[in-house]
C-alpha cells in the first residue's frame, strides 16, 4: 500500500510531477484542490470567498483526512495545506511526504506566465510577484521542511526533465 503526499508552493510542480509519477507507478493521482472542487461543485476561490480562509482551511482539512484513507495514491496537497492544523504531522503519519523545493526565480518564471489563472497573483507587477513568492516561502518553509523527503523540482519544463525527475523521485523513495 502506497500513499505519497506532494507538498510545496504553487508552481512547484506538484500536479505535473505527481501525475507523471502516479502514471509510472500505476498509482491513482489526486489533486486535493480539484477533489474539493468536485465534491462541492465550486472552485477553491468561490469556497474561500464564501467561507473565509478559516472555513476553507477546515473544509480542506476534512478532505485531506478523506483522501488520506485511499490506498495506492499520490496526493498533490494545496500549497497552504501543510501550514494549518496538524496537517503536516497527519500526512507524515499516513504516508511519505515529499517537499518539492524550487528556487524562487524558477517559481517566479512559472507563476508569471500563469498569473491570470491564479487570483492571488493576477494584478501583481514582476517585483511584487517576486516579493510575494519570497515572503510566502519564508512563512511556509518551517512547515514544508517537516516533510520526510526533500526533492529539488527546478527542472520540470519538458517531457525529458519530467521523466528524469520521476526516475529520481522513484530512487529517492525506493519505489
Q: Please report, in range form, the residues annotated as the binding site for ATP.
A: 11-16, 118
Name the binding residues for Mg(2+): 15
Residue list for the binding site for substrate: 33, 57, 79, 140
- Residues annotated within the binding site are 11-16, 33, 57, 79, 118, 140
SS (H, E, C) the chain: CCEEEEECCCCCCHHHHHHHHHHHHCCEEEEHHHHHHHHHCCCHHHHHHHHHHHHHHHHHHHHHHHHCCCCCEEEECCCCHHHCCCHHHHHHHHCEEEEEECCHHHHHHHHHHCHHHCCCCCCCCHHHHHHHHHHHHHHHHHHHCCCCEEEECCCCCCHHHHHHHHHHHHHHHCC
Amino acid at each position: 500500500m502506497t500513499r505519497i503526499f506532494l507538498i510545496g508552493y504553487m508552481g512547484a510542480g506538484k500536479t505535473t510531477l505527481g501525475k507523471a509519477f502516479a502514471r509510472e507507478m500505476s498509482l491513482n493521482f489526486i489533486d486535493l484542490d480539484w477533489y474539493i472542487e468536485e465534491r462541492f461543485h465550486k472552485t477553491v476561490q468561490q469556497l474561500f470567498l464564501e467561507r473565509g480562509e478559516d472555513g476553507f482551511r477546515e473544509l480542506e482539512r476534512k478532505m485531506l483526512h478523506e483522501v488520506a484513507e485511499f490506498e495506492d495514491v499520490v496526493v498533490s496537497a494545496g500549497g497552504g495545506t501543510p501550514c494549518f492544523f496538524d496537517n503536516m504531522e497527519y500526512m507524515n503519519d499516513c504516508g511519505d511526504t515529499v517537499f518539492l523545493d524550487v528556487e524562487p526565480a524558477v517559481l517566479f518564471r512559472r507563476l508569471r506566465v500563469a498569473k491570470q489563472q491564479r487570483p492571488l497573483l493576477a494584478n501583481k507587477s514582476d517585483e511584487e510577484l517576486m516579493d510575494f513568492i519570497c515572503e510566502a516561502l519564508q512563512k511556509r518553509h518551517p512547515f514544508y521542511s517537516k516533510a520526510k523527503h526533500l526533492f529539488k523540482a527546478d527542472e520540470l519544463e519538458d517531457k525529458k526533465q519530467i521523466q528524469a525527475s520521476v526516475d529520481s523521485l522513484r530512487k529517492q523513495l525506493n519505489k
